[in-house]
Chains A and B, each alone.
Chain A
Amino acid sequence: MPDNNTILLAVQTAAARHGNDPANLVQILREVQDALGHIPEEAVDDIARFLDIPRVRVAGVRGFYHFFHDRPHGRYEILFSDNIIEHLQGKPELLQQMCTRLWVEPERMSEDGLVRVGSTSCIGMSDQGPAALVNGVPVTRLNMERVETMVELVQKGVPLSQWPADFFQVEDNLRRADVLLGEPLERGAGVRAAVEKGSDGILAEIDRSGLRGRGGAGFKTAVKWDFCRKAVDTGEECSIVGPKVCDNTAATVRYVVCNADEGEPGTFKDRVLLNSHADLVFEGMTVAARVIGARQGFLYLRGEYRYLFDKLNGILAQRRRDGLLGENILGSGFSFDIVIHLGAGAYICGEESALIESLEGKRGTPRNRPPFPVTHGYLGKPTVVNNVETYALAAKIAAKGGEWFAAIGTAQSTGTKLLSISGDCERPGVYEYPFGVTVRQVLADCGAQDARAVQVGGPSGTIIGEGEFDRRLAFEDLATGGSFMVFNRERDIFEAARNFSSFFAHESCGFCTPCRVGSTLLKKGMDKIASGHGTCADVEELKRIGQLTRAMSHCGLGQTAANPVLQTLDKFWGDYEKRLISKEFEPSFDLDKALAVARRITGRDDAWAHVSAD
């Protein structure tokens, strides 16, 4: 345990680096945890003092994010990615093997404080899984052999820096490039165009391009930027009033935010953009800043991608040196800079208003809307939030105009879309397609000969069976943020839906009743069916809970949390039916199972120590 002076020093250093600003609380907590291994109560008190905020706020934030710990959690923390694809590729067996060899129980730190082995939501590596985060750094392509080596390294206490480098190798796996990834843009071309064409000129090009947000919802980017640049800061803190849209005033502070939370299971295309095309992304953010009149931008990088943090900061520094970022960009008088904020394990922080809360150093709870971020975003100021891919495309459009872009894709979905393809196919990875491509085409290209189902857009999206493979990927038909998970004929779709239900229950922020309790009830219901005790009555109940959660939840998480259950009940009923027992009703309390403890204590397992069902 660190002593009080060590704690104080760690807090002082982290707080000072972040200007003792409560808005940076999430960043400060992360750095304190880096220094101390966890965030003890004394650190909470010190942070509260330095930032001059109530300790209860600090404790509340610490308790919200999965990657923050209030007690030691092992010198090695190994978290296996719980994505269904990695699950099917052997994650449970690998995790079990590691636990057995290390003599630990899953999710519990070993007695000597050496190691904790557990699970975490998809870490964005499902094209090269099974994967795990070891002290926050991804180790990919796990197999029994790798697990064995890891066990030895842990037991010998070898520091991560001395582990074999190929363990940490993350491939881009770029399989198909089109206009975005295939045709390089000269560095700075987007920014130069923005400076030359000005706000109106660029906005007109974005509008002409028809660009829609790539994060999933597909909102028109030009409309969003225009709302934001016209929004005026009223100066009052209002949570209820509707958007006040008036003339552009130069005095209003506005912000550009890049959503790099990429938490939807099965998505990893933003990882590739940030790893290999970060300049393009920063360029797009700068273009947006020029359009709306912002001086400050944030990249909100999910905690799972922390391994990219230093690299990205290096690229920002280079851009400043090159006059593409910072004061007086390209000598035009326009100034803009970007700060990277790291998340700490919370899918909900991909939702734009929760993301803004997190940027402000708070619990990631989605806000009430209206007002929307374009009028009341970061610190209540007009803010544009866009996906990584949206900014990359915006940079291209700024440089090359909107016309050519509008000519690609379909009428309502112009341009190309990056897909993250994983699962039962020969060539998982990132594919860039013009919008409008059929699922069948994509399956053929990635080498999925035996597909039975595809989960399009992740658990919150749509699952389709063979009969729907001629549907098109486009906002008009199958909208997608990019996740594309393939299941072959041997796969059990019920298990996929159950995995997704656990995911949502685990990631619900807990703010609203229908999602907090509804997602938990859905998970419990699926677990009951999986255990062989489900009946038709349970299925009917799942439908009712699902509809309620969908209709009454506060944000997109709860509104889509029931999608996997409702859709698979509809489309893959057979996978449920074979598990159900024919009885109308089955108690969820299993008397025989409850006696297991007594059997263990008494060392009995004879017939009299059991209660039989009939």
Chain B
Amino acid sequence: MSDNTINIDGQTVPFLPGQTIMEAAMAAEVYIPHLCHNPEFTPHGSCKLCTVSVNGRSAAACTMPAAAGQQILNNTEELNANRRALVQMLFVEGNHFCPFCEKSGNCQLQALGYYLGMMDPHYNHFYPARAVDGSHPDVLLDLNRCIMCELCVRASRDVDGKNVFGLTGRGIHTHITVNSPSGRLGDTNLAVSDKAAEVCPVGAIIKKRHGFAVPIGERLYDHKTIREVQTEAHK
């Protein structure tokens, strides 16, 4: 094996020192399914959709440093079955009703469901009682759809410099909370132009008065798989 390459499903992939497996793969246009990862932000490693097998051991590709000679399995039946189960878990722990969600067609959770061949939620729904916060003039926060990826937390903290969002609670009761004594989004300094207002991969944070600007059927993942969209984006 040469010094700075890894092997993903038989393909030799070069990497730069300091890169993660995900970063190396993206640069080589090798798709590893992911949800909490967004190349614009520091890696997080919570959804575990990107789990690959590295020299026989499971690891999250988005946080695992690439190291010379790693033998990586990614697009295998078994890993994809586990990924499908994770997407199903995310579906049942929240309240996701795609047919009447504004994000439908642009939602990464839904797109991954399609990509991974998810035909049903499989597990029993938890039907948790979660809050909807419409107090902000321009942005709606619907925790029913939140998948705890913390992209809004990272965007607000690292890009907007505001810390509007944060996690609280623990275990299955973990949830997003906002930076105001009232707990209402309208009482924070979030602006609709903030990065945090647009980064949500699902429909938990959406801008008001933009509903259905693009009709269903003509949206991002309606004609392309998430694999195609995300590999093209990183070309």
B interface footprint on A352-367 (CB within 8 Å = 1, 0 otherwise):
0000000000010000
A interface footprint on B143-182 (CB within 8 Å = 1, 0 otherwise):
0000110000000000000011111111111100111110
* Interchain Cβ contacts under 8 Å between A and B, 12 examples: A54-B166, A56-B165, A56-B179, A60-B167, A239-B43, A363-B170, A510-B167, A510-B169, A516-B93, A517-B92, A520-B93, A552-B51
Contact B163 A56 (CB under 8 A): yes
A424 interface hit (Cβ, 8 Å): no
In the complex the two chains form, what is the Cα distance from A42 to B181 in whole Å?
8
In the complex the two chains form, what is the Cα distance from A42 to B182 in whole Å?
10
Interface size on B, residues (CB 8 A): 44
A interface footprint on B187-215 (CB within 8 Å = 1, 0 otherwise):
00000000000000000000000000000
Q: Which residues of B contact A239 (CB under 8 A)?
A: 42-43
B30 interface hit (Cβ, 8 Å): no
A54's partner among B85, B86, B179 (CB-CB below 8 A) is B179
In the complex the two chains form, what is the Cα distance from A239 to B44 in whole Å?
10
B97 interface hit (Cβ, 8 Å): no
In the complex the two chains form, what is the Cα distance from A370 to B54 in whole Å?
14
> Which residues of A are at the interface with B, using a C-beta cutoff of 8 A?
41-42, 44-45, 54-57, 59-60, 62-66, 239-242, 346, 363, 368, 370, 505-514, 516-521, 524, 544-545, 548, 551-554, 588
B28 interface hit (Cβ, 8 Å): no
Other than the known A368-B45, A512-B48, A513-B47, what 17 A-B pairs have Cβ atoms closer than 8 Å? Answer: A57-B166, A60-B167, A60-B168, A63-B169, A63-B170, A66-B170, A507-B171, A509-B174, A510-B169, A510-B170, A513-B48, A513-B49, A514-B86, A516-B93, A516-B174, A520-B93, A552-B48
- Given known A57-B166, A552-B58, contact A510–B51 (CB-CB < 8 A): no
In the complex the two chains form, what is the Cα distance from A513 to B150 in whole Å?
13
A513's partner among B58, B89, B171 (CB-CB below 8 A) is B89
Contact A510 B163 (CB under 8 A): no
Q: Which residues of A contact B186 (CB under 8 A)?
A: none
Q: Which residues of B contact A59 (CB under 8 A)?
A: 166, 168, 177
Nearest CB of A to B205, in Å: 15
Contact A554 B45 (CB under 8 A): yes
Q: B residues 34-76 with Cβ under 8 Å of A?
A: 42-43, 45-49, 51, 58, 60, 63, 65, 67
Contact A518 B89 (CB under 8 A): yes
B114 interface hit (Cβ, 8 Å): no
Contact B178 A45 (CB under 8 A): no
Q: Which residues of A contact B85 (CB under 8 A)?
A: 544-545, 548
Contact A513 B167 (CB under 8 A): no
Nearest CB of A to B124, in Å: 5
B106 interface hit (Cβ, 8 Å): no
Contact A240 B63 (CB under 8 A): yes
Residue of B nearest to A55 (CB): B179
Q: Which residues of B contact A512 (CB under 8 A)?
A: 45-48
A55's partner among B58, B65, B89, B181 (CB-CB below 8 A) is B181
Q: Which residues of B contact A370 (CB under 8 A)?
A: 65
B27 interface hit (Cβ, 8 Å): no
Contact A60 B48 (CB under 8 A): no
- Given known A56-B179, A240-B63, A512-B48, contact A551–B82 (CB-CB < 8 A): yes
Q: Which residues of A contact B168 (CB under 8 A)?
A: 56, 59-60, 62-64
In the complex the two chains form, what is the Cα distance from A370 to B181 in whole Å?
37
Q: Which residues of B contact A45 (CB under 8 A)?
A: 181
Residue of A nearest to B62 (CB): A368
A510's partner among B86, B123, B124, B174 (CB-CB below 8 A) is B174
Max chain A C-beta neighbours (<10 A), residue from B45, B65, B171, B178: B171
Nearest CB of A to B104, in Å: 21
Residue of B nearest to A239 (CB): B42
Q: Which residues of B contact A65 (CB under 8 A)?
A: 170
Contact B171 A242 (CB under 8 A): no
Q: Which residues of A contact B93 (CB under 8 A)?
A: 516-517, 520
Nearest CB of B to A49, in Å: 12
Q: Which residues of B contact A507 (CB under 8 A)?
A: 171
Residue of A nearest to B35 (CB): A513
In the complex the two chains form, what is the Cα distance from A545 to B172 in whole Å?
16
In the complex the two chains form, what is the Cα distance from A510 to B163 in whole Å?
20
- Given known A59-B177, A240-B18, A552-B58, contact A517–B165 (CB-CB < 8 A): no
Q: Which residues of B contact A242 (CB under 8 A)?
A: 65, 67
B90's partner among A513, A521, A544 (CB-CB below 8 A) is A513
Q: Which residues of A contact B173 (CB under 8 A)?
A: 510
- Given known A54-B166, A239-B43, contact A505–B48 (CB-CB < 8 A): no
Contact B174 A554 (CB under 8 A): no
Nearest CB of A to B218, in Å: 31
B108 interface hit (Cβ, 8 Å): no
In the complex the two chains form, what is the Cα distance from A551 to B59 in whole Å?
9
In the complex the two chains form, what is the Cα distance from A63 to B175 in whole Å?
10
Contact B63 A513 (CB under 8 A): no
In the complex the two chains form, what is the Cα distance from A510 to B65 in whole Å?
24
Q: Which residues of B contact A516 (CB under 8 A)?
A: 93, 148, 171-172, 174
Residue of A nearest to B47 (CB): A513
B110 interface hit (Cβ, 8 Å): no
